[in-house]
Amino acid sequence: MTTTRSKQDLAKGGLKPSLLPDSASAATSMMESLKNDIFRKIDASAASLHSEILSVRQELKSSVEPLQRAVEAHEATIRDLEQAATDHNTRIDKLEATVDMLTSQVKRLDDKCEDLEGRSRRNNLRAMGIPEGLEGARATDFVAQLLRDLLKLDEKPLLARAHRTLRERPKEGTLPRPFVVRVHFFHIRSQILQQAGESSPLLYNGKRISIFPDYTSSVAKKRAAFVPVKRTLHSYPNVKFGLLFPATLKITMPNGTSHRFEDPTVATDFVNKNCK
> Quick check: is 24 in a domain?
no
State which of 169, 184, 214 marks the end of a domain: 214
For residues 41 and 83, state if they share a domain. Answer: yes
pLDDT in tens, 119-177: 999 999 999 999 998 888 899 999 999 999 999 999 999 999 999 998 888 888 889 99
pLDDT in tens, 29-77: 888 888 888 888 888 888 888 888 888 888 887 888 888 888 999 999 9
For residues 134 and 208, state if they share a domain. Answer: yes
The three-state DSSP-derived secondary structure of the chain is: CCCCCCHHHHHHCCCCCCCHHHHHHHHHHHHHHHHHHHHHHHHHHHHHHHHHHHHHHHHHHHHHHHHHHHHHHHHHHHHHHHHHHHHHHHHHHHHHHHHHHHHHHHHHHHHHHHHHHHHHCCCEEEEECCCCCCCCCCHHHHHHHHHHHHHCCCCCCCEEEEEECCCCCCCCCCCCCCEEEEECCHHHHHHHHHHHHHCCCEEECCEEEEEEECCCHHHHHHHHCCHHHHHHHCCCCCCEEEEECCCEEEEECCCCCEEEECCHHHHHHHHHHHCC
For residues 270 and 259, state if they share a domain. Answer: yes
Which CATH number covers residue 131? 3.30.70.1820
